[in-house]
Structure 1
Amino acid sequence: MRQDVEIKTADGAASAALFAPAGPNATLSGVILYMDAFGLRPALYGMAEKLVDAGYFVLVPDLFYRSAPYGPFDTTAFSNETTRVQLRAMLQATTQAMTERDGAAFIETLTAAGATGPIGAVGYCFGGGRALTAAAAYPDRIAAAASFHGGNLASDAPDSPHLRAGSIRARVYVGEAGVDASFPPAQSAKLAEALREAGVDHIVENYVGMAHGWAVSDHGVYDEAGAARHWKRLLDFFAETLR
């Protein structure tokens, strides 16, 4: 069952959805699900419930809380001039450093709920980079970090996640879209090199034929077979690392 919570952070209060496992499959491990660009909504809650069914505490925080109130947006928002401008402004205003700073409160919330074991992080779209950055910032708690169709993971920006590879102690899984302008082959190679040189246990996998956003059920490019493959990879990855 979803519990809507407010998380106190250094910059205010972040809305979030918190889920707790029940039954014999329940573990003491938790997962932070870093949202895509369209904000909290039923599709993400459904994804969280799959992770809860696998036995994990799950937190889905609103990374745009500093811009609240906003939206709600759906996955067609970039096709509309008004909502495109709003979303781009929020994306630019929500820096990696902000989300990294929030990570301590996110982990504390999961711990208080009962997730006293290792923590996993998974992010979609711009959340993918946040998951990797969280792994670098909180190596003592985050044991697994996954990104699906994450953008700009190895860009020229000073806060590009690949620059933090040396601080990552977690296992890393990156599922990239087959063709994705936000994460082209050159960036994929740069990220893999950075993780390899840092000695990070990692996999970078190319989902050939999948478009950016394929794994999220309400996205226009959602692919059922590709999403099923993503779930198999993610659940196996977390089971191997968090249990």
Structure 2
Amino acid sequence: MNIVLFHSTCGLRPAVHAAAGRLRDAGHTVQVPDLFEGRTFGTVAEGMAFKEEVGSDELLKRAVVAAAPHSDEGLVYAGFSLGGSLAQNLALADEKARGLLLLHGTSDIADNASVDGLPVQLHVADPDPFESHDWLTAWYLRMQRIGADVEVHRYPGAGHLYTDPDLPDYDAESDERTWQTALGFLESL
């Protein structure tokens, strides 16, 4: 698979490079754009402040520009938290998308969105301070209504960005289970 992997609001940290390496080791081609132009943050709060400075529209534009050269190949869009939100927006707008892998984050779904069986897998902490149970239930139902083939995997007790070993949210067991499941998902596409 050809995958574009978007970083979280903490920026293009070593954990994102490690994830890309894991995907490459499994035989995938992975693009890892730096939407924050070199800036990284040690907390979600710091990253969110920077995100607000840059603006959501600008970040979406950067994501589109980063993915565009590869989109003719039929991409799998993937991302961590904020990057998941961006990946979701791009995948739902790309009729050639092969799949959507979301780690720690989702996004609103446009009223006119429609996909034909797009495989979607979400991995999220339970509970997650940014993805409430009510939100996730509504998101799941809406994704099904627009035609996505959705799986949600929840990880009790894990922190929001539980796949980044350099952040306090890290949960080694949940991280390993996430990647085993995600690699199986990608293999099935």
* TM-score, normalisation: structure 1: 0.69
Q: 1:64 aligns with which of 23, 27, 36?
A: 36
Give the alignment of 1:22-61 within 5 angstroms.
29-61=1-33
Q: In 2, Cα distance between the equivalents of 1:167 and 1:93?
A: 31
Q: In 2, Cα distance between the equivalents of 1:134 and 1:128?
A: 10
What count of residue pairs does the alignment treat as equivalent? 188
Larger radius of gyration: 1
Distance 1:103 1:63, change over 3 A: closer
Query: Is the 8 Å Cα contact of residues 114 and 147 (structure 2) preserved in structure 1?
Result: no
Query: Is the 8 Å Cα contact of residues 123 and 147 (structure 1) preserved in structure 2?
Result: yes
Query: Is the 8 Å Cα contact of residues 214 and 222 (structure 1) preserved in structure 2?
Result: yes
CA RMSD of aligned residues (A): 2.3
Which is richer in strand?
1
* TM-score, normalisation: structure 2: 0.87
1:128 is matched with 84
Query: Is the 8 Å Cα contact of residues 100 and 137 (structure 1) preserved in structure 2?
Result: no
1:203 is matched with 151
Paired amino acid for 1:107? A
Q: In 2, Cα distance between the equivalents of 1:202 and 1:89?
A: 31
Query: Is the 8 Å Cα contact of residues 145 and 173 (structure 1) preserved in structure 2?
Result: yes
Distance 1:49 1:164, change over 3 A: farther
What whole-Å deviation, never above 9, does each CA across 1:210-236 have from its counterpart, x for those lacking one?
110111222212111111111011111
Give the alignment of 1:70-219 within 5 angstroms.
71-73=39-41, 75-76=42-43, 78=45, 84=46, 87-110=47-70, 117-140=73-96, 142-150=97-105, 153=106, 160-163=107-110, 166-169=113-116, 170-219=118-167
Q: In 1, Cα distance between the equivalents of 2:150 and 2:175?
A: 20
The offset of 1:126, in angstroms, is: 1.2
The offset of 1:72, in angstroms, is: 4.2
The offset of 1:180, in angstroms, is: 1.2
Distance 1:107 1:127, change over 3 A: closer
Distance 1:55 1:166, change over 3 A: same
The offset of 1:205, in angstroms, is: 2.1
Q: In 2, Cα distance between the equivalents of 1:94 and 1:138?
A: 24
Query: Is the 8 Å Cα contact of residues 63 and 94 (structure 1) preserved in structure 2?
Result: no
Q: In 2, Cα distance between the equivalents of 1:88 and 1:99?
A: 12
Percentage of matched positions with identical amino acids: 24
Q: In 2, Cα distance between the equivalents of 1:94 and 1:164?
A: 26
What whole-Å deviation, never above 9, does each CA across 1:131-171 have from its counterpart, x for those lacking one?
1111112222x211111111xx3xxxxxx433368333421
The offset of 1:71, in angstroms, is: 4.1
